[in-house]
Amino acid sequence: MTRTGGVPGLLLPFEGGRCEPEAFVRQRARSVRERLEAAGLGRFAQSDDVMADLICRTSPQAQADTIAPLADWLLWLFPLDDLCEEIFTADRARVLVPAGTTDLTGHLLATAFPPVVATGMTEFRDDVTARMSPGWGEQFRRDLDDYLLHAILFAETSAENDLPALDEFLVVRRAEGAAKPTLDLVELAARTDLPEQFRNSTAWRRLLDACADVLTWTNDIYSYKKERRAGNLFNLVDVLVHHGRLSEQDARARAVDMTVDRPGPARPAGRCRRPAEAGTPPPRRQ
């Protein structure tokens, strides 16, 4: 039942490749690690090799002038996400997230997180929004706020009775897993600022949801045992075990099948538009 040894085997219609300025990425990873270690937060730093490999694999379209914010996003996201689980309880989240907050990320960075992480994430956010249009910046800020809100609200999910039903979990996981701000950065990597009408279209939002699902479900499959050891049950596999009444092995297999099937049927072969063309509307019919 489990495909490819228990991990998703997604067939891509293109060569994924790697980002080329790898030495720069490795230097960036070392800089962030050293800042965390100097602040006594070395336990939240990943190894330089692991992060450089991850960033270069997930940003194949990036070039020397766009890789810095893409690298900084992942380098600061990992400690930020881990700190959410360490800092927040449900009661503390309600205190630290006042109703009507218009800049949730800025508020939480200023009040709840260690200064080094707050500074690093703020520098990243200022840099990336300065590179793109105001419309893109607003969308990114909304997605980043949505991620942090869900990350802190579900940070304490350690009991099976706290797990939402599958349909609810799938929607929440897109936000809680930081998938949406990550996917926003595809436009930066491709040097493309999509028109607002296109970015807000139903077809585009559905595509982003599918990509977010593949990203978060794959993460759940790979990190399931680590999260279970840490007492965190907010994972697709745990939801399938609890609500689907499956064994762990069958739940993992089901998660793999869901991930492989989620992209849907491949579209008909045809000319692919280059990234530079993606923001250009198609010609009108005569």
At 165, which CATH number? 1.10.600.10
Residue 269 counted as domain residue: no
Write the pLDDT tens digit of every residue in 253-269.
Answer: 999 999 989 886 544 33
Residue 286 counted as domain residue: no
- Number of folded domains that form the chain: 1
Residue 71 counted as domain residue: yes
Write the pLDDT tens digit of every residue in 141-170.
Answer: 999 999 998 888 887 665 566 788 999 999
Write the pLDDT tens digit of every residue in 99-142.
Answer: 667 788 998 899 889 999 999 999 999 999 999 999 999 999 99
Residue 281 counted as domain residue: no
- Tell me the C-alpha distance between 183 and 68, whole Å: 16
Domain that holds residue 210: 18-264
Give the residue with greater pLDDT, 88 vs 264: 88
Residue 272 counted as domain residue: no
Neighbours of 254 (CB within 10 A): 18
pTM of structure = 0.81
Residue 258 counted as domain residue: yes
Burial class of residue 282 (count of CB atoms within 10 Å of its CB; 0-12, 13-18, 19+)? exposed
Write the pLDDT tens digit of every residue in 35-71.
Answer: 999 999 999 999 999 999 999 988 888 888 899 999 9
Within the chain, how many helices (H) and strands (E) appear?
13, 0
Write the pLDDT tens digit of every residue in 173-218.
Answer: 999 999 999 999 999 988 889 998 998 899 999 999 999 999 999 9
Residue 154 counted as domain residue: yes
Residue 35 counted as domain residue: yes
pLDDT confidence bin for 284, thresholds 50/70/90 = very low
